[in-house]
Every structure is written in C-alpha cells, then in structure tokens.
Amino acid sequence: MRSIVLSSGGPTGFRQRLNHLIWRLIQVLPDRSFVSLKFFSIGGRFPNLDAPRNFTDKVQVRKLYDRDPRFPVMVDKHAVKKFVRERVGEDYVIGTLWVGRDLSEVDWTTIRLPVVVKPTHGSGQGVFLEKQADIKTLLESDLPDKWLETRHYRHNREWAYGEFEPKLIIEEMLQGATDAPDDYRFFVFSGKVRLIAVRLRRKGVSYEAFFSPDGIRLDLQTGYRTPASGDVELPASLARMIRVAEQVACDTDFVRVDLYALEDRVFVGELTLYPGGGFPGCVPDAWDRKLGDMWDLRARPPARR
C-alpha cells in the first residue's frame, strides 16, 4: 500500500515546524485574520484583501467572500465527476468503483486492482492499492477514519470544502510510464488557458515545469519543487487538453483544471479553486501580479469602515 505523495513544498526544518506551531495557535481566529497571518508567516507580507492585484491576494479574497453555489460541487472529488461529464462527456471522467463512508461495506471481490482510495473533501491524502495485501493493511489502519474526521476546509479557510459530507472514493488507477502519470495543470481565466504547470514524479522526486498555452517552455519556478532539467515534452494531445480545460471552466472567472494524458486518452483529475491555499509559492513569484491581472475577480470584499 503506497501513500499518495503530493508535496506541498515550502520551508523545511525549524522554519517549517515553527510555521505549523503558529498555524495551530491562530486556528481560533476569524477567517480574515487567520488567512492574513498565515500568509505573512509564509511570504513575509500581508495580503492586500481590500484592493487585491496579485493572484495570491485574489485567492484569499475568493476564499473569504466568494460563495458561488457551484464551488462545493467542483471541489468534491465525487460530485465533480457529474459536473465534468455534463461539460465534456464520459470519456474524460476517471472511473469510480465505489463511494461511501465505511470501507468494510465494500465487496472487494468486485474491485479490480490497482486502485486509488482517497477522501472526497481533502487534498494530498490517499493510498494506492496494488495487491490484495494492501487492502488488508488499509482496512486494519485508522487512515480512513482520520481522513473523514479531518476538517480540511479549516486548514486554509477554503469554504467550499466544508459544504458537503465527506466520503471515501475508490477510483481506477491511471498508470503512466512512471509510478504515477504526469500531472498537467491548466490555469484558466474567464474561459481561456493562460499558463500550464507540469508536475512530474521521477524516483520519488517531484519536479515542475511551466509552459505558455502554445507550448513554449517558460523560465519560471516556484522554488517549492525542483525545476525539471532538460527537455520536457508536452503530450501530442495538448490542443485537445486545452479545449477540455476551457470547456470545463468556460463560465468561471478562474479555475485550475488538472488533466492527465495517457496514450490517446485525456482525463480530468480535479478542479482546483484555491491552488496551494493561495499562499506565496502557489505560483511563481515572477508571475503573481501577471496572473492577477488576468483574473477578473468576481468576488469583492466589503467596504472597510
């Protein structure tokens, strides 16, 4: 049984431990105060919540003030499948084998391995089940209960994640040439792809690369992952992936559409409304303002008195 490893990057060692202590201490604060202090602890500045210009500032404003009723559906890893199916069709949806709250109710004789098991309301949690022994290990662990008990939306004050009942989902595992397929992340603003981030995993190390929509490699990095060295080839289905991403996100001011490309197939992994919680490092610093300028933010903070 392998855990899904989704590196969040960020400071390491003492700085990381100190930050986690600070975040626990400020959990009791109201949302606006919490996101401001957490933002400062990571980036050394406070976000501009009253007149946001940067991408990172606008994510904070979305978290605090945008209550689009579609958002809970878009971030629910089960409900979003229907959303995607209605926009681009069944062929782009990763197969669901079971969804519920108690894995002991699963008829495992009907589950063809390998599969992914994960919570529908979280991020960076889950396991790969590749052999029968992995099922036994998972059922004997307390991981599923911990996933369901986690109030993920409180960690970064991401409202939408707290608006639906947490469940567990078993999905077909997509298998690429490596231990996991490459992850293509399309930043879509008002229905147009403006930036592509590629996440690759090789021998346990997470790499990143950035491209323009026309496939040109950009000299960008977040500093949270190792820049991919050498040539990084975009899939032959890039134009198709862009069309899918734009169709899925056609009527949203911003959403990141995460896609996988396997041979002649394209799959929607998930929709991300609050990349990295919108904290510094979630996008390259060099493009924080540029991406912010691309975002015609619908949400507006209330006037300060």
* pLDDT tens-digit map of 229-272: 888 889 999 999 999 999 999 999 999 999 999 988 999 999 99
In a domain, 140, yes or no: no
**Residue 61 pLDDT class (50, 70, 90 cuts):** very high
**Cross-strand pairs, 168:** 100, 119
| Beta strands in 148-253, from DSSP E residues, in sequence order | 168-172, 183-189, 192-202, 205-211, 217-218, 226-227
Looking at the chain, the whole-number percentage of residues with pLDDT higher than 70 is: 94
In a domain, 102, yes or no: no
In a domain, 302, yes or no: no
Instruction: Identify the burial level of 70 via C-beta atoms within 10 angstroms of its C-beta, where 0-12 means exposed, 13-18 middle and 19 or more buried.
Output: middle
**Residue 4 pLDDT class (50, 70, 90 cuts):** low
In a domain, 111, yes or no: no
pLDDT of residue 12: 55
Stretch 214-218: mean pLDDT: 96
Instruction: Identify the burial level of 38 via C-beta atoms within 10 angstroms of its C-beta, where 0-12 means exposed, 13-18 middle and 19 or more buried.
Output: buried
**Residue 199 pLDDT class (50, 70, 90 cuts):** very high
pLDDT at 26 over 70: yes
pLDDT of residue 3: 65
In a domain, 119, yes or no: no
Stretch 19-48: mean pLDDT: 94
pLDDT at 27 over 80: yes
Please give the helix or strand (H or E) that residue 63 lies within, else none.
helix 55-65
Please name which of 108, 260, 104 lies closest in space to residue 174, comparing C-alpha atoms: 260
Question: pLDDT tens-digit profile of 90-109?
Answer: 999 999 999 999 999 999 99
Could you give the CA distance from residue 229 to residue 209 in angstroms, rounded to a whole number? 9
- Of the listed ranges 82-86, 287-291, 301-305, the least confidently predicted one is 301-305
In a domain, 123, yes or no: no
pLDDT of residue 229: 84
pLDDT at 293 over 70: yes
Torsions phi, psi for 186 (to 5 deg): -100, 115
Torsions phi, psi for 226 (to 5 deg): -70, 125
pLDDT at 179 over 70: no
| Beta strands in 212-285, from DSSP E residues, in sequence order | 217-218, 226-227, 254-262, 265-272
Question: pLDDT tens-digit profile of 118-164?
Answer: 999 987 789 999 999 999 999 999 999 999 999 989 999 999 999 99
pLDDT of residue 6: 41
**Are residues 274 and 158 in contact, defined by beta-carbon separation less than 8 angstroms?**
yes
pLDDT of residue 254: 98
In a domain, 25, yes or no: yes
Exposure letters 247-271 (e unless 16+ CB within 10 A, then b): bbbeebbbbbbbbbbeeeebbbbbb
In a domain, 266, yes or no: yes
**Residue 176 pLDDT class (50, 70, 90 cuts):** low
Could you give the CA distance from residue 258 to residue 272 in angstroms, rounded to a whole number? 8
Number of domains in the chain: 1
Question: How does DSSP classify residue 93?
Answer: B
**Residue 212 pLDDT class (50, 70, 90 cuts):** very high
**Are residues 237 and 118 in contact, defined by beta-carbon separation less than 8 angstroms?**
no
**Are residues 220 and 287 in contact, defined by beta-carbon separation less than 8 angstroms?**
yes
Contacts for 82 with CB less than 8 Å, ≥ 6 apart: 73
Residue 27 in tokens: 């959990």
More confident residue, 304 or 86: 86
Q: Identify the three-state secondary structure at position 150.
A: coil
Q: Average pLDDT of the chain?
A: 92
**Residue span of the structural domain in which 227 resides:** 2-92+178-294
